[in-house]
Amino acid sequence: MILDGKTVASQIHDELRIEVESLRARGIVPHIALLLVGDNAASLSYVQSKSRACEKIGIASTVHRLPASASHQEVIELICRWNQDPTIHGILVQLPLPAHIRTDDVLQTIDPQKDVDGFHPVNVGRAVLGLPSFVPCTPAGIVELLRRYRITVRGKHVVVLGRSNIVGKPLANLLMQKAPWADAIVTVCHSAADDVQAYTRQADILVVAVGRAGLIHGDDVREGAVVVDVGINRIEDSTAPRGYRIVGDVDFASVAPKASAITPVPGGVGPMTIALLLRNTVYSAAGIAWEKPLFQ
């Protein structure tokens, strides 16, 4: 079974469009502010896709670009202005930031109640405690994708490869929560593992979030495992229109025949990430992000 993130994301967009219409009818226009510092091509394309997706369902988006030479203070001041602006419900800073800007300070400056990426320590803490919170969009998107395909994680052994603050750690935290949509037995694996395959082969559900093209092959997964590929890697391809193509961390050709379900790249986790960003923004505009359990 292919876990088709594109189709599921489009269903979520349809559901959110209705919520946005009802907010607009009450005079609330959901609005997200996106900050891009510098001119990294991949970051620009991510920001553009997020902004386009917002506009399509009626969320207003403001993209603010600063040059790579922008000072740390300039970035902080812009965020403080957005924090004070009652017409802005969500603030997203596209990462990575240039090295001279202190990312942690910037993320901690965002008002936790507008933190639609869920990176502020207040939201991280709330999520660890199992309280309603803004949850990072990629992990939330993965949980939502599994839910919509009725893949139960309760009691299953989930192995997460990668422990970043934006994917691996928050995903492991979500899946171990004592909740009907979680309750998994979670192993987190990273670059210190001598034998990564010894872990991946034990997984009922394997999530790979490393950033290395084709790291996981058919021999590395159990027969019947569910495989979620988070990786986005550009590899050169002179036959592709842009001169490159996007592949995941999983070698789809050798893993798909063994897996019971698998996400493609592109078209798996990526669209779900954007859908959950839209959802976080709508919930923020509705004032319910810290009230509504993320999954029901």
Residue positions annotated with a catalytic role: 50, 94, 117
CA distances to 4, 135, 158 from 7, in Å = 6, 22, 24
Instruction: Give the interface segment with ligand NAP, choosing from 23-31, 115-123, 145-153, 226-234 (CB under 6 A).
Output: 226-234
DSSP string, 200-240: HTT-SEEEE-S--TT-B-GGGS-TT-EEEE---EEEE-TTS
- DSSP code for 113: G
Can residue 146 be called a binding residue for ligand NAP (CB under 6 A)? no
Nearer to ligand NAP, 88 or 215 (CB): 215
- Residues paired with residue 262 on neighbouring β-strands, in sequence order: 2, 227
> In whole angstroms, what is the distance from residue 174 CA to residue 176 CA?
6
When binding is defined by CB under 6 A, the residue of 49, 62, 103, 164 that contacts ligand NAP is 164
What one-letter code names the amino acid at 4? Answer: D
Which residue in the set 232, 247, 250, 261 belongs to the binding site for ligand NAP (CB under 6 A)? 232
Nearer Cβ to ligand NAP (146/210): 210
Q: Does 238 bind ligand NAP (CB under 6 A)?
A: no
Does position 285 interact with ligand NAP (CB under 6 A)? The reply is no
User: Residue 139's closest CA among 168, 163, 113, 114?
Assistant: 168
118 binds ligand NAP (CB under 6 A): no
Distance separating alpha carbons of residues 246 and 115, to the nearest angstrom: 29
Count interface residues toward ligand NAP (CB under 6 A). 24
C-beta closer to ligand NAP: residue 250 or 269: 269
Question: Is residue 160 at the binding interface for ligand NAP, with CB under 6 A as the rule?
Answer: no
- Provide, rounded to whole angstroms, the least separation between the CB of residue 114 and ligand NAP: 21
State which of positions 252-271 bind ligand NAP (CB under 6 A): 269-270
> Rounded CA gap, 227 and 127, in Å?
24
138 binds ligand NAP (CB under 6 A): yes
By the rule CB under 6 A, 162 interacts with ligand NAP: yes
Q: List the 31-37 sheet strands across, edge first.
A: 60-66, 31-37, 90-93
Interface with ligand NAP by CB under 6 A: which range of 50-58, 78-86, 124-132, 164-172? 164-172
User: Taking CB under 6 A as the criterion, which residues in 182-221 touch ligand NAP?
Assistant: 189-193, 196, 209-211
CB of 94 to ligand NAP, least distance (A): 12
Which helix H or strand E contains 274, and what residues bound it?
Answer: helix 269-286
For residues 133 and 291, give the distance between their C-alpha atoms in angstroms, rounded to a whole number: 8
Three-state DSSP state, 21: helix
Distance between CA atoms of residues 294 and 276, nearest Å? 10
Interface with ligand NAP by CB under 6 A: which residues? 138, 161-164, 166-168, 189-193, 196, 209-211, 230-233, 269-270, 273
